[in-house]
Amino acid sequence: MGKMIDSAAAAARLGVNMQRVRALLGARRIPGARRIGRQWFVPEDFEVTPGARGPKR
């Protein structure tokens, strides 16, 4: 497993708030995310999987 960052750092990298990151984690849209205790960690080089709603590109 590569280097992991916490969800607060992921929110900063995406430019969104923590509530949005929690929603993405709950929907399993960040592959490789792990929950350790009460805190979420995501891979350092993560990408968000596109959702099913919205415009199709």
Residues in the chain: 57
Per-residue pLDDT tens over the stretch 26-52: 999 999 999 999 999 999 999 999 888
- Helix then strand count (H, E) for the chain reads 2, 3
Beta-strand relationship, 39-43 and 34-36? antiparallel
Q: In whole angstroms, give the CA distance from residue 40 to residue 7.
A: 6
Give yes or no for residue 55 having a pLDDT over 90: no
Per-residue pLDDT tens over the stretch 21-31: 999 999 999 99
Give yes or no for residue 19 having a pLDDT over 80: yes
**Domain ranges in the chain?**
4-43
Query: Are the C-beta atoms of 7 and 40 separated by less than 8 Å?
Result: yes
The pTM score is: 0.83
Query: Are the C-beta atoms of 23 and 30 separated by less than 8 Å?
Result: no
State residue 24 phi and psi, 5-degree precision: -65, -40
